[in-house]
Structure 1
Amino acid sequence: MEGPVEVELEDGSVVTSDRFRVALCTCRRSRRYPWCDTSHRDRV
């Protein structure tokens, strides 16, 4: 996705990223959830 991006989480809170390009985390392993930080690569 290309930014800026706003995402509404399950609890109703909204997080924003003003980065040019972002990736959403779908595995929930990211320390920066909902933004992907490639943590999924460390676990098999």
Structure 2
Amino acid sequence: MKQEPAEGLIVVCPDGPLLVRGHFEIVTPAGEPVPRQRRTVALCRCGASAIKPYCDGTHKLIKFRTDPAAPADPAPADPGP
């Protein structure tokens, strides 16, 4: 059985941008639409892009690294004396 394609898809690139594909709208915190020309866009995660919210590849120059995954089970709290 073949699944129908999702309205939108987000791909998290290790140490890179978020690739967003499909039908979606990007808006500012004030709700204003951010113009885009493509159906697939790369959104900056490193914070250093000159064309935010879009990625310009600066993450490679600054050697941006994503955080390691959080542990599945956090350590228990110290019960104290």
What TM-score does the superposition give when structure 2 sets the normalisation length?
A: 0.42
1:14-33 to structure 2, matched below 5 A, reads 14-33=33-52
Mind listing any 5+ residue stretches in structure 1 that lack a counterpart? none
Matched residue count: 43
Mind listing any 5+ residue stretches in structure 2 that lack a counterpart? 1-19, 64-81
Pair 1:30–1:38, CA change in 2 (3 A): same
Following TM superposition, by how much is the alpha carbon of 1:21 offset from its aligned partner in structure 2, in angstroms?
2.0
Structure whose CA Rg is larger? 2
- Which amino acid is the alignment partner of residue 57 of structure 2? T
Following TM superposition, by how much is the alpha carbon of 1:3 offset from its aligned partner in structure 2, in angstroms?
5.9
CA RMSD of aligned residues (A): 2.0
Counterpart of 1:8?
A: 27
Hey, which bits of structure 1, 4+ residues long, moved more than 4 A? Answer: none
Structure with greater proportional helix content: 1
The structure showing larger relative contact order (alpha-carbon pairs under 8 Å, at least 6 residues apart) is 1
What TM-score does the superposition give when structure 1 sets the normalisation length?
A: 0.65
Counterpart of 2:60?
A: 41
